[in-house]
Amino acid sequence: MAQWKKIIFFLVFPFMNVFAQQTVTGRIVDDSGENLSSVVIINMSTDQKVSSDFMGMFSIEASPNDELRFVKAYFSRVSARVPAGGFNAQLMVTLIPIPTDVGEVKIVKKPTGDLETDSRLAGKVDKGEIVQQAVGLPQPVGKMREKPAEVKQVLLPILLGSLDVQGAYDLISGKARRQKRQYRYDDLQEHIMWVRNRVDNEYFTQAGIPEERISEFIQYSFEAKPQVRTYVKAKNLSGALLRMEETMPVYLERLKQQKKQE
């Protein structure tokens, strides 16, 4: 395996000069042309992060084929890839707001003591989904994101006499590893927010969990009882909450121990 790594390195080395870094500058606006400040720009290949200023301007180091991701709360995420020749002019990026005009409906009822009943009562009515179903909007299939390179997919073509230059570069530079780490983090945050967007904070605070630690508890429940996350992926709120409540006593005990040590 070590010999193959050396072969890959020497084969790819002549191509490395192509990936010289450059400074990419640009301006970020919303769909009405207004400047957007505090937009986080991430170079997915280097993990470098910068933010746009009050004029929506930004500057970040990048190499050809690097993916730049633009993220801001309440706006759809946008990605742009640096072309081989670089951006000859200032990059103009437009972020589209996520519709928020349809509010949630909070159901306020006293707990009955029955876990299954209380789990259902805690759920918020997702009116956005109801409207989407009513008008027949298509549901997105999967996630539009680049698939990380795999060692087997790169080595096998070499044995057959060809070379996946981009795949080899992604492995050697660590891009594939960073992509996998970023995707795991993105999925975790998405699943946490799926629960929070459908359950009132009071549901957790009445159980003794401080409001500022709700997300932490949800993540803990995923790790302590993986079945919770399985229900979330299946969009089964009642099942997720039922299993989540099984982890509450241990988590609350940990909070007590932490307070004693402080």
Name the pairing type of β-strands 40-43 and 22-30.
unpaired
pLDDT in tens, 61-118: 998 889 999 998 888 889 988 887 777 778 889 998 886 544 444 444 444 445 445 5
Cβ of 220: how many Cβ atoms within 10 Å? 18
Confidence check: pLDDT of 173 > 60: yes
Top-confidence residue, 190 or 162: 190
d(CA 117, CA 123) in angstroms, rounded, equals: 10
> To the nearest whole percent, how much of the chain has pLDDT over 90?
29
Top-confidence residue, 153 or 232: 232
pTM beyond 0.85: the answer is: no
Mean pLDDT computed over 200-213: 90
The SS3 assignment for 142 reads: coil
The amino acid at residue 143 is K
Distance of CA 200 to the CA centre of its chain: 22
The SS3 assignment for 25 reads: strand
Mean pLDDT computed over 32-40: 89
CATH architecture of 18-98: Sandwich (2.60)
Predicted confidence band of residue 138 (pLDDT cuts 50, 70, 90): very low
If 0-12 CB within 10 Å is exposed, 13-18 middle and 19+ buried, where does residue 259 land? exposed
pLDDT value of position 140: 47
Domain edges within the chain: 18-98, 115-143+176-261
Mean of pLDDT over the chain = 76
* Ranges 15-19, 202-206, 242-246, 249-253: which has the least confidence: 15-19
